[in-house]
Chains A and B, each alone.
Chain A
Amino acid sequence: MEASGLPDFSDRRSRMLGVGGRRGLALSTASTVIVLAALVALFLAAPGSAAVRHTFFNPTDMWRAFVGNPRQGYYSVGEALWLNIRMFLIAEVLILILALVVAVIRQSTGPVLLPLRIVSTIYVDVCRGVPLILLIFAIGFGAPALELRVISYQSAAVYGVAALVISYSAYVSEVYRAGLNSVHRSQVAAARSLGLSEWTSLRHVILPQAIRNIIPPLLNDFISLQKDTALVGVLGSIEANKAAELFSDTTFNYSSYVVAAILFLLLTIPLARFTDHLIARDRARRLAGAVQ
């Protein structure tokens, strides 16, 4: 091999998978450690390093922020996160439903549905274009001011969820629409030619394929949604970010924000891994030709 000067790719490949594989692993581990060590060294060498470590990464303050102490004027960031989780879960379900309805209406062709198509197009244009925080303010302060019977007497978290649902459904409906368009028209022809109605074709043939195609972008939007529940704090709900803010207001220490950041990471990273797992499982299942 060396004599010809040209590498023998088949041999090289087998070595990479065998002995070379272990060597590759060692190399990648070493390079990762070196890069991380360099970053940490850079951070420690910065002139303000000690001050930053004290105000942002103080273990004692991080623990105090995590458990909270209402008598001293701040709440547990960990407990407050539970509100984020609940807001996320409720908003997610509502978004999946509302966005699908909007997407199907926008994709419809019947002349009867034209008014609905116009309304949903305007809705998507407006709600994608307005910053989420403005929408939260508008609903959070606007709905109570209307003095309507039920609508005006909800908690800040409810208004926050409403704003999240309205804003995200506009985005997610476009993801759905991309998914619907990704299914080839011949699939519609095949379904309709068997006598399936438009609705049955959509439900059993088009949507399952569309949704499979959009799981990654959909989950990506939901990771974004998990973080954006933090914005509802501007209405006064004690969610994780607001709790962290209260802690720093009383103690002049920002470690609470780092706690909130870590907690959000603990939420979002599993969701990302779960997405990958779903995709891999679906792929494996179809390639293996297993029974449903």
Chain B
Amino acid sequence: MPGADASGAAVGGSAAGGSAGGGGRGLGGGGAEALRIEGLWKAFGANQVLRGIDLSVAAHEVICLIGASGSGKSTLLRCVNLLEGIEAGTIWLDGQVISGPGVNQNLVRRHIGIVFQSFNLFPHMTVERNVTLAPTKVLGLSRAEAAEQARVLLDRFGLAEKRSDYPDRLSGGQQQRVAIVRALAMRPRLMLLDEVTSALDPELVAEVLDVIRELASGGMTMLIATHEMGFARDIASRVCFLEDGQIVEQAPPARLFSEPSDERTRRFLRRIVDAGRM
């Protein structure tokens, strides 16, 4: 597989599993398969949150997950990042199994960046240290190398002069951009964005969406849970509508938003339009 580099070979599972991917499932990108999820079930106690999710994401594809709160979007992202254990199913990253026992979770997470709704920056560290912590502790970069990389990234996203500030001095939009930079500093192969603009004041949403657009144009493979329908329509190569822990419908945004085939999708979109959110 083109995507499986030397460090990827250590992730776990068998490299031969890569051939299980590819195939006709990739509706969008058509490149190598970056992420594959099959039969994913997840419950919190008696609450069955995910009921058999199947999803394939090609490299450089941008997938937007839409659906009401509680439909399972965030849980799906947290399962891919292994922050939540799963009841059943298999997840592949670049053709290698990353779910189940015997997988080094810390190794897997190096390759998957996640950005949370509530930023979750480390409040006792400067912006720069937030960004350099994982590269120094996990990738073994020297402090100087990591700082140089952080400087380049922060500069690219207009945060250069915030380098020495602590997170509580930043606006929500700045904090979220730092959180994105922090994830990027690990050079992930896949980025998971969990409703990253939902906690922001309306006037700060645009600056964060711009960052995500830039990532998409740079070819980053992304799985994005979002309530921003306009943004999803703009950026997604494919949109997945989730309800009750299942992917009800997935299609390129032009088709899903204008001629949804499933009644449940139509009902959801109608509510969104009625609420003036689209």
The interface of chain A, by Cβ under 8 A from chain B, is 186-187, 189-197, 200, 204-205, 208-209, 212, 286-287, 289-292
A186-B137 in contact given A194-B183, A194-B186, A286-B166 (Cβ < 8 Å): no
Q: How many residues of B contact A (CB 8 A)?
A: 32
- CB contacts (< 8 Å) of B105 on chain A: these are 192
A209-B83 in contact given A195-B110, A290-B164 (Cβ < 8 Å): no
Closest B residue to A191 by CB, please name it.
Answer: B122
A292-B129 in contact given A194-B186, A196-B137 (Cβ < 8 Å): yes
Distance A200 CA – B81 CA, assembled complex (angstroms): 18
- CB contacts (< 8 Å) of B169 on chain A: these are 287, 289
- Of the stretches B22-30, B113-121, B252-260, the one at the interface is B113-121
* Proximity bits, B81-92, A CB within 8 Å = 1, else 0: 101000000000
> Is there contact, CB below 8 Å, between A287 and B168?
yes
User: B134 in the interface, Cβ–Cβ < 8 Å?
Assistant: yes
Distance A138 CA – B249 CA, assembled complex (angstroms): 72
User: B107 in the interface, Cβ–Cβ < 8 Å?
Assistant: yes
A292-B126 in contact given A194-B134, A196-B137 (Cβ < 8 Å): yes
Number of A-B contacts (CB under 8 A): 73
User: B14 in the interface, Cβ–Cβ < 8 Å?
Assistant: no
> Is there contact, CB below 8 Å, between A196 and B133?
yes
Distance A187 CA – B118 CA, assembled complex (angstroms): 10
Within 8 A of A (CB), among B202-248: none
- CB contacts (< 8 Å) of B78 on chain A: these are 189
Distance A290 CA – B164 CA, assembled complex (angstroms): 7
Other-chain contact of B114, A193, A205, A291, A292 (Cβ < 8 Å): A193
Closest A residue to B120 by CB, please name it.
Answer: A190
Would you give the shortest CB distance from A118 to chain B, in whole angstroms? 25
Q: List 23 A-B contacts (CB under 8 A).
A: A186-B120, A190-B120, A193-B113, A194-B113, A194-B133, A194-B134, A194-B138, A194-B183, A195-B109, A195-B110, A195-B134, A195-B138, A196-B106, A196-B134, A196-B138, A200-B137, A204-B133, A205-B133, A209-B122, A287-B169, A290-B164, A291-B164, A292-B129
